[in-house]
Amino acid sequence: MTGISAPAGSPPTVAIAGYCSLDYATSTKSFRGIDATSILERGIASCAPGIGGIAHIARATAVAGATAEAISWVGADGQGDTWTAGLAAADVGTRGVSHEGTRSPSATMIEVGTGGTICLFDPADCHPAALTDAQREAVGSSDCVVLTVAPRHLAAEILDLVPDAATLVWAVKHDDDAYTPELITRLLGRADVVSFSAGERDYVTQDGVSPEAAVRPGALVVETRGAGGVAWAWGSTDGPASPGVLAVDPVRADDTTGAGDTFVGTLAALIARAGGLDPRGDIAALITSATRAAGDLLRARSTADRTPVATSTKEGH
């Protein structure tokens, strides 16, 4: 399935749908298990939260040359205003951001030195029973829709509204509260691009059927492997077709928050700018560009961490 071709000189529109989150990030050398004490390497309470959730995807989409429209939900607690203003400052449209409830979602992420990340997420109370009219219009008028983790009933409604001619990118997040097996099956059957981390492969493997065999023939399946690179293949009933692997230059960073989302947002924008997914195109070049964008994020963050500051604390997380 191909995306809608944007008029000459007009960038394509990409709607990015999913949770808002104000993120607190830290790390530990080793998670010692339940009822045991794990030592954090940097504080949480003194940190200003980062603008997370779909923000990294949306900002990367805008930077890569598409018109980005956020579809999300925030509360009336000031944090939601901060989150929305951060998107607007990055040239991301916010007409699809609804304001309800008293609290905005937040997350505490603990990166474990021995591998993996622990995510503690508070979805808050700002999610309505149905999409707003502005959100429905934003989905229905998009050339490409990136759907990531969201309240289950709203994700299903978004999936119902994605135009047949639009490209759908499913940015997988392992969240059993957001996805039922039936919804995962629907997403695999409709998505043009399915992107997940190596640790999420088992999550999108249904009844022993790999995602490459579960998607529509010709859909692109992408697996990010951190410092191990990026692998991809085209879907077919027989499993992976025309697989490829891209090596990456490892980037040392204490906080890798948003790298995978930056990859997905960049890839979605590039596919949308190309007029949709083309199995005959140079997918390796698109993935190289998306990987470079994620690496640039980490390198910029690492450089900022090494920059001397005038006070005893640094902003950010």
Q: Is residue 314 situated within a structural domain?
A: no
- Is residue 6 a part of any domain in this protein? no
Range of the domain at 77: 13-306
Q: Residue 45's pLDDT band (boundaries 50, 70, 90)?
A: low
pLDDT of amino acid 114? 87
Give the contacts of 298 (CB within 8 A, at least 6 positions apart).
Answer: 251, 253, 256, 259
Q: What CATH number is associated with residue 223?
A: 3.40.1190.20
Instruction: Give the whole-angstrom CA distance, residue 123 versus residue 133.
Output: 22
Per-residue pLDDT for 270 more than 80? yes
Average pLDDT over residues 130-144: 98
Split at pLDDT 50, 70, 90, the class of 298 is: low
Q: Is residue 4 part of a domain?
A: no
Domain for residue 75, yes or no?
Answer: yes
Domain count, the chain: 1
- 2 within domain boundaries: no
What dihedral do alpha carbons 131, 257, 82, 120 form, nearest 10°?
A: 70
Report the chain's mean pLDDT, rounded to a whole number: 88
Closest CA to 317 of 304, 101, 221, 77: 304
Dihedral sign, CA of 38, 42, 46, 49? negative
Residue 141 lies in a domain: yes
pLDDT tens digits for 248-259? 777 666 556 667
- Digit-coded pLDDT (tens) for 153-201: 999 999 999 999 999 999 999 999 999 999 999 999 999 999 999 999 9
Average pLDDT (59-85) is 96
For residue 239, pLDDT beyond 90 = no
| Token digits of residue 6 | 């944007």
Q: Is residue 137 part of a domain?
A: yes
Q: Taking 80 as the threshold, does the pLDDT of residue 8 lie above it?
A: no
The DSSP line for 155-168 is HHHHHHHS-TTSEE
Task: Write the pLDDT tens digit of every residue in 194-230.
Answer: 999 999 999 999 999 999 999 999 999 999 998 889 9
For residue 135, pLDDT beyond 90: yes
C-beta neighbour count of 185 within 10 angstroms:
15
Return the closest-CA partner of residue 146 out of 56, 231, 257, 255. 56
Q: Within a domain: residue 159?
A: yes
